[in-house]
Structure 1
Amino acid sequence: MGKVLKFSYFLVLILLASCKSETKKEKETEVIQETDSTNSKAVNTTNKVMLFYGNSLTAGYGLDDEKEAFPYLIQQKLDSMGLDYTVINSGLSGETTSGGKNRLDWVLSQQVEVFVLELGANDGLRGIPITETKSNLQAIIIGVKQKNPQAKIVLAGMQIPPNMGQAYTSAFKNVFYELAEENEVYLIPFLLKNVGGIPELNQEDGIHPTAEGQKIVADNVWNVLKDIVKLEDSIN
């Protein structure tokens, strides 16, 4: 079964493993060790990788337990179906599309079967020009396709409050639809559907979902992912 990894552990340990001499057989069945506060658990990297690339929404900002974040909940769904996926949570609080573009090469050091792109919300809250946000997201999509041509890319749509004016708000929402169509990638229409703007499902800041809100977010994501993993499973 899969095991969610925080990408920082994943990359460092791959680099350490690559410095050691291995037999051909060992290289074909490489096992990475993830160390947390309690113990070390082996993760077989022959599992297919599903990488969540985002900001604090992906990282699970403000939750008591990082396993309450939606990528971890997706891992549980995959495990319950007996699907051999390892979910990597590469969410970084405060990340913008510009920052995401700059660190992309670092996270694409291994083959990825499914790449979930969840960036843009911080751009919108800061009023970054729509053209810049779209350009950065486009660059990320191109980068993923170049490094992992076989990867299924899922773009998480986002909406923002009308603070920046109706024209900006509408253009921001439409960017995700435009990119999904232009690049022929999968789209989650609105990541925070049935969560955004609902006080009881968000933390005190009114932005980040509670544990209960994260469950709904996971359902929104799974509505798109379920067909992708079924397709991958049928191919293999």
Structure 2
Amino acid sequence: MQTIATIKPSIVGIGTFLQLRSPAISFVGTGFVVGDGLSVVTNAHVIPGVIDDEHKETLKVTISRGKSTEYRDATLVALDKLHDLALLKISGPPLPAMKLGDSDSVREGQMLAFTGFPLTIILGFHPVTHKGMVAAITPIATQAPSSRALDVKAIVQLQRNAYDVFQLDGTAYPGGSGSPLYDPETGAVLGVINKVVNATKESAITNPSGITYAIPANFVRDLMAGK
């Protein structure tokens, strides 16, 4: 499909580089290029909570160019933990950018595609594409850390922070977090893959549930606009 060939140069890996580590690159998730060609969108949970500055660990994006791989420095410029989104700025010349669509137009039953790096370095630095139907558009809220924290105020806050996400019947694997969810005909980004439902971490590979969630792309637009 021509759309896949067009968007692949916009797909990047997200990780950190530490010279003393083996391997030096710790590959965590996926991102995609938007806007000026130097802006990269991924999940907030993909960004490491702590960078080892003392040992010169740095945030990097990985760009697959056929048989070769390019690494670029990345800087975190915006973070939206509520919607699990992050915006990075990368060094070097601009890359082809994906266009954001209107996620309010998505309907249940619609077929969408997502491209990323499932199983990360195990499959190599080559973007892989999957497809899935929008099985449901359902509200979600950030959970409290424990049941003890669920007082009346916390419950009201949960309800206030609830927002709709896309539930897909396609399987996303570890490393696919941050992949763009897009219209396979136009390539317009309509969401960002952020998690898959599994009983255990091990079953994510051996017995995947086939239930994946994505954040609507309109929240990406808000993040880029500084809202």
Higher relative contact order (CA 8 A, sep 6+): 2
Q: TM-score range by the shorter chain?
A: under 0.3
**Larger relative helix fraction:** 1
Could you state the TM-score of these two structures normalised by the residue count of structure 2? Answer: 0.28
**Larger relative strand fraction:** 2
